[in-house]
Amino acid sequence: MIVLGYNGFSHAATYFDAYMGRRGRDRNRLIGHDAAAAIFKDGVLVAAAEEERFNRIKKTSTFPKNAIDYCLRACGVTLADVNYIAFPWDYTDAMMSEIFGQMFHGPGTLEEKFQRFNDLRNLYANLIAPSRVVEDFNRSLKADVGLEQFVFVPHHLAHVMTGFFASGMEESAFLITDGRAELLSSIMGTIDRNDYTIWPESSVGLANSLGILYANVTRYLGFTPNSDEYKVMALSSFVQDPPEYDYERVIELLPDGKYRLRVENNAGNILAYYRFYEDFFGPRSDENDKNVAYFIQTLTERAIAHQIKTLEQKSNCTNLILDGGVALNCVNNSKVLANSRFEDVHVGFAANDCGVTIGAAFYPFYQEKVFADTQVITPYLGPCYSDQDIVRALEAQSDRLRFKELPEERLLEIVTDELMSKKVVGWFQGNMEYGPRALGNRSILANPAFDDMKDFLNMKVKYREAFRPFAGVLIESEVHTYFEMGKKQTSPYMTFVFPVKPAFRDKIPGAIHMDGTSRLQTVAYAQNPKLYKLLKVFGDKAEVPCLVNTSFNVQGEPIVCSPVDAVNCFLNSGIDVLVMGNFLVYKQPATLE
């Protein structure tokens, strides 16, 4: 059995522009964002890719034609060979009736309710009705697939399936929290290989969405919602002496792990948020912005901790899965890990909405109990390019570049010497990663031993805010020497932060946030052989065998996908050295021996 999963709508951005007045990246943030595709064959995840990497529009919500084409090629099949098309949204008649009922019994004047009804009717008719989804698919791919071939998976259930698959399919409790699904913003329950249970008494509706609240704070602070929440998380740690806030003015914790927001939580009414924040915090300033970030981060941690208590009490599981957009909050993830009774907390490499394509495509196999136990779970699911592809991209810019192919051993020695001499390296290898983190195949690497490396990377390479921290990458077997890992033995996906042991904090300042932690990636040989070997060679010369690992892109652009993308980013940024495969690349007028 072959199942293709995808997320995205060909007219989503156009619709949100025309009907809701959304502009710029806002047009991609409401539904269908993180457009992507994934394909399974006989229970094995063969390939997955995000559309933004191909069309170069960050967080795109468009129909993922390029990603689907790639997945079919990687699987060696055509669309005619696919048994089912899985879609991670399920707007059934019963679901729509319930949404309409809540809308008319909710707050607001009758005129406002009619306007919301009209907006939802247009959304359904233009985008989300099952018949429209099938039409969009067939029109975009020039196909003739029938409705009976589609599997519509509720959005949060797709997140559950993603987390369960990526965690190794062990019995687990789960907590899914994001901006919105069809009717809810958060669910919890338990799952094993036989069945799953969602506790309706613990589900949180859209009106109390923690993800939407965090997104609106992100906007209030001048960042892009549904994209830049990690900036708010980073900014929150700069508050040294936090004020005593009245959190109960904003959130009420209820039985069964539920909560209720006491502020208007309509994603479309931005001004209501602005008025509340200025009343609550005072006029915006650099200091107040930090306080606002601290407040929303702390409120999020309190709400999640409240939900975790219910999971601890009602389940006998020793493992916990966190998934959905809020699970990208690695600071909160680490606190859940440290403070709960769960022996392990799993956050996968694609907890955001690109991941639901995996979950939706896995769902038919879960239903049939088809599990490929020998499969290695890996994020390296995207396109891989040949040496010929690399040479063509380099030769196209031969008037601006110098390059040479080297034996791997010699290449790693030169790259290590460059890193030791404070050079920044673009690192392009193998299959592109899936998910929001660069994990060593589309990365920018640097030596964290230099005090000013963080500032240099932010200013001259990434062109982004000075307060933004960088992640460290370290060989898995050596991580406990340098970091306090707590319950964790590994951290392959950069989804947790860990304190650096005090004796080493002044050795790798470039990979440490101001609170003494790092969003760490651990690497084993089987996971990423070439990055592992580079870390071994680098470790022979450095005091701490740790590198800075950040995504191979600049502010506002998706992570690079192809050799052409990598060359363009290299030429238009402060990266000093580019490594693609075994090719060592410099900008002119550098010379190569």
Please report the DSSP string for 490-558 in residue order. --TTS-SEEEBPGGGTTT-GGG--TTSEEE-EEE-TTT-HHHHHHHHHHHTTSSS-EEEEEESS-TTSP
Q: What order of strands is seen across the sheet that includes strand 546-551? A: 401-405, 583-587, 577-580, 425-428, 442-446, 546-551, 471-475, 521-523
Place of tokens 């060909």: 10
| For residues 477-496, average pLDDT | 96
Question: Whole-prediction pTM value?
Answer: 0.95
How many residues are given for the chain?
A: 593
Place of tokens 């060359």: 567
CA 511-514-515 angle, to 5 degrees, is: 105
- What's domain 387-587's architecture? Alpha-Beta Complex (3.90)
Query: pLDDT-derived band of residue 273, with 50, 70 and 90 as boundaries?
Result: confident
Res 480: pLDDT: 96
Res 109: pLDDT: 83
| For residues 344-356, average pLDDT | 97
| For residues 516-538, average pLDDT | 97
Q: Give yes or no for a contact between 59 and 226, defined as CB atoms under 8 angstroms apart.
A: yes
Res 29: pLDDT: 56
Q: Which class for 498: exposed (0-12), middle (13-18), buried (19 or more C-beta within 10 A)?
A: buried
Query: pLDDT-derived band of residue 270, with 50, 70 and 90 as boundaries?
Result: low
Helix, strand, or coil (residue 4): strand
Q: How many Cβ atoms from other residues are within 10 Å of residue 403's Cβ?
A: 22
Place of tokens 């519509």: 152
Alpha-carbon distance of 32 to 49, in angstroms, equals 15
Kindly state the helix (H) or strand (E) to which residue 344 belongs, with its residue range.
Answer: strand 344-346
Res 18 pLDDT > 70 = no
Q: What is the CATH number of domain 169-347?
A: 3.30.420.40
Q: Which of 390 and 222 is assigned the larger pLDDT?
A: 390
Res 288: pLDDT: 87
Res 580: pLDDT: 98
Structure-block tokens of residue 135: 């039409």
Q: Give yes or no for a contact between 213 and 329, defined as CB atoms under 8 angstroms apart.
A: no
| For residues 35-45, average pLDDT | 97
Query: pLDDT-derived band of residue 14, with 50, 70 and 90 as boundaries?
Result: confident
Taking the CA atoms of residue 265, residue 268, residue 270 and residue 273 in that order, the dihedral angle to the nearest 10 degrees is -10
Kindly state the helix (H) or strand (E) to which residue 568 belongs, with its residue range.
Answer: helix 563-571
Alpha-carbon distance of 362 to 48, in angstroms, equals 12
**Percent of the chain scoring above 90 in pLDDT:** 75
For CATH 3.90.870.20, the residue range(s) in the chain are: 387-587
Res 472 pLDDT > 60 = yes
Res 322: pLDDT: 98
Res 151 pLDDT > 60 = yes
Query: pLDDT-derived band of residue 285, with 50, 70 and 90 as boundaries?
Result: confident
For CATH 3.30.420.40, the residue range(s) in the chain are: 2-161+357-368, 169-347
DSSP state of 320: E
Q: Which of 11 and 538 is assigned the larger pLDDT?
A: 538
pLDDT digits (tens, 9 = 90+) for 235-258: 999 888 888 889 999 999 999 999
Q: Give yes or no for a contact between 401 and 588, defined as CB atoms under 8 angstroms apart.
A: yes
Res 592 pLDDT > 80 = no
- Nearest partner of 301 among 274, 336, 275, 254, judged by Cα: 336
Alpha-carbon distance of 36 to 357, in angstroms, equals 7
Return the minimum-mean-pLDDT range out of 303-307, 456-460, 497-501.
456-460
Return the minimum-mean-pLDDT range out of 66-70, 90-94, 444-448, 577-581.
90-94
Q: Give yes or no for a contact between 35 and 63, defined as CB atoms under 8 angstroms apart.
A: yes
Which sign does the torsion angle of CA 472, 485, 494, 292 carry? negative
Alpha-carbon distance of 267 to 214, in angstroms, equals 11
Res 455 pLDDT > 60 = yes
> Which residue type sits at 483?
F
Q: Is the peptide bond before 589 cis (omega within 30 degrees of 0)?
A: yes
- Nearest partner of 489 among 435, 498, 173, 340, judged by Cα: 498
Q: Which of 556 and 334 is assigned the larger pLDDT?
A: 334
| For residues 254-282, average pLDDT | 79
Mean predicted lDDT score pLDDT of the chain: 92
Alpha-carbon distance of 281 to 279, in angstroms, equals 6
- What's domain 2-161+357-368's architecture? 2-Layer Sandwich (3.30)
* Beta strand 517-519 pairing with 497-499: antiparallel
Whole-angstrom distance between the N-terminal and C-terminal Cα of the chain? 53
Res 308: pLDDT: 98
- Alpha carbons within 13 angstroms on the beta-carbon side of residue 274 total 9
Rg (CA), the chain: 24
